Amino acid sequence: MKKIFFFLIPLVLLAREELIIKVEGMHCPLCTTAVKKALKKVEGVESLKVLLETKSATIVAKDGIEDKVYLDAVKTTGYDGVIFSRHHLKD
């Protein structure tokens, strides 16, 4: 039983997910830069892309980070975000 437990721990720690957050208030390149800087500060974020054209942020991060953490980060920029989609990534 102990062997199985130690085998599963790394799998849980390596789990990743992709989220898309809609940020409707963005209207210029400076807006996307502000949102990107704020989301980069979230612990566990591995990569992200913020696009003005779609008014969205696509984030790849460690699994298990609560929605509120991302939305609070966006809120620090003066914008409101809405989780549009979330799915687990297979390594």
> Global pTM?
0.82
| Token output for 23 | 């940020």
The answer to whether 16 and 56 have CB atoms below 8 angstroms apart is no
Instruction: Indicate the average pLDDT of the chain.
Output: 88
Mean pLDDT for the stretch of residues 2-30: 75
Mean pLDDT for the stretch of residues 73-89: 95
CATH number listed for the domain at residues 2-89: 3.30.70.100
Give residue 2's pLDDT: 52
Give residue 3's pLDDT: 52
Q: How far apart are CA 77 and CA 68, in angstroms?
A: 15
Domain extents in the chain: 2-89
Mean pLDDT for the stretch of residues 9-28: 82
